[in-house]
A and B are shown apart, each in its own frame.
Chain A
Amino acid sequence: DAGVIQSPRHEVTEMGQEVTLRCKPISGHDYLFWYRQTMMRGLELLIYFNNNVPIDDSGMPEDRFSAKMPNASFSTLKIQPSEPRDSAVYFCASSSAPGQGSFEQYFGPGTRLTVT
């Protein structure tokens, strides 16, 4: 398996523009997580899905952020409009259900977002 795939790897955009980050989880994984990593706040969970359904979005910072998972192999995180304080590395991770014996979350390589 290729692991969790994220695109783009780097994104530079201007304040006010819409940004869409993409994630392909590991095939067969039931859970998908979106994290944000910054020096100030560390690794923060934004939202996670189970079987394509959002379970907990309490970490989404504000209404400018939205996430979707239209099918088991694809998810997007959208920021509209983007602001400089959104600059961070965004990670997608996936895992199988805890009841299946493995609790490991596999992280993608991340998307480094810079909003100028």
Chain B
Amino acid sequence: QQQVKQSPQSLIVQKGGISIINCAYENTAFDYFPWYQQFPGKGPALLIAIRPDVSEKKEGRFTISFNKSAKQFSLHIMDSQPGDSATYFCAASILTGGGNKLTFGTGTQLKVEL
């Protein structure tokens, strides 16, 4: 019940295209859904996050879409750029009660080609 399933495992997108990464979860107690971006040799860094009381959150070219009834959420990268090439992880946690124990998806390697 603690799993977060992420797809696809890898993704190649042309510059200017839209990158879409999907995640699904089972535990309905999850109440925080962040996306992390990781470049080779670096630690993951928070990209954008959403709470379940909203269905969409947009920050620049990055948008999270959240479907509470389907227990799914996705990351959309608009106008994808070569600099977006990285590994993306979705995650989920239960914030109530303190702490922020993240359960991560398996990651998606994104490559944006010229």
Contacts and interface: CB of A to CB of B under 8 A. Distances in A.
**Chain A partners chain B:** yes
A50 interface: yes
A48 B104 contact: no
Interface of B: 32, 34, 41-46, 49, 89, 93, 95, 98-107
Given A42-B107, A43-B104, A103-B32, A55 B44 contact: no
Looking at chain B's contact residues, the main secondary structure is: loop
29 contacts: A31-B99, A42-B89, A42-B104, A43-B44, A45-B101, A45-B102, A50-B98, A91-B43, A91-B44, A93-B43, A97-B98, A98-B98, A98-B99, A98-B100, A103-B32, A103-B34, A104-B34, A104-B46, A104-B49, A105-B46, A105-B100, A105-B102, A106-B45, A106-B46, A108-B43, A109-B41, A109-B42, A109-B43, A110-B42
Interface string A75-101: 000000000000000010101011100
Interface string A32-55: 010000000011110010100001
Contact of B43 (A50, A97, A98, A107): A107
Given A50-B99, A103-B95, A105-B102, 16 more contacts: A4-B43, A31-B99, A42-B104, A43-B104, A44-B104, A48-B101, A50-B98, A56-B101, A95-B100, A97-B98, A98-B95, A103-B34, A105-B100, A106-B46, A107-B45, A110-B43
